[in-house]
Amino acid sequence: MANINDLFSHNRAWAAEMERTRPGFFTSLTKQQKPKFMWIGCSDSRVPANQITGLEPGEVFVHRNVANVIVHSDLNALSTVQFAVDMLKVEHIMVVGHYGCGGVLAALNNTRVGLADNWIRHIQDVRDRHRGILDNLGPERRGDALVDLNVIEQVVNLCVSTVMTDAWAKGQKVCVHGWAFGVHDGLLQDLHMTVADTDQIEPAYRAAVEGVVAARR
């Protein structure tokens, strides 16, 4: 286990190693960031965007919150997306959930955790919307299914935002994806909730929800 002073020594060692193997790496970063990818994930410490995807500093623009939720009025998330889409011109935005997510499990089981209950209420809305699917699964499968369904619903929330609607109306090439990460095996799953234009939201949503049901039959 690291203690707080280790972080500085780790940092100095990392910076030195980067500069040794890639001379000029940091100097080139100061010029600009031009990431192709945006990651919207859970704050969970076990799901670090760069390490999972092998991306370096400068390659992925990141927004994280509890249980990777995109709320219509969340100016924090939407401002981050707007900057990524309008200024950085990212080409892919991934909404990434993870199995064993504490926020999703709290929503599923009505666990009270405090202020965050109000945030998690958004995931309970997802749970209630898909009650029919979840009730038909064994209790051991419901958590993973709700992780997937939450990703799918949050992709929709992102896709109907003014930022995405306006970008697509202008013909901008930017694609939104729904993925889930396995903390138990380190692997990403594509939930095939992939949307590259407003008119793709509805068919992608229906197919992805059916995919969740089929995967857990």
Q: Minimal distance in Å, beta carbon 65 to Zn ion? A: 9
Number of residues that bind Zn ion (CB under 5 A): 3
Q: Pairing mode, if any, of strands 188-190 and 175-181?
A: antiparallel
Q: Which of 77, 78, 94, 101 binds Zn ion (CB under 5 A)?
A: 101
Cβ-contact 181, 188 below 8 angstroms: yes
List residues with catalytic annotation.
42, 44, 46, 98, 101
From residue 85, give the alpha-carbon distance in Å to each of 63, 113, 153, 167: 13, 34, 20, 8
Residue range at the interface with Zn ion (CB under 5 A); choices 24-32, 39-47, 117-125, 163-171: 39-47
Applying CB under 5 A, does 44 fall inside the site for Zn ion? yes
Cβ-contact 152, 191 below 8 angstroms: yes
Q: Minimal distance in Å, beta carbon 103 to Zn ion? A: 5
End-to-end Cα, the chain, rounded Å? 40
Q: 42 vs 208, which CB is nearer to Zn ion?
A: 42
Q: 85 vs 96, which CB is nearer to Zn ion?
A: 96
Q: Minimal distance in Å, beta carbon 77 to Zn ion? A: 15
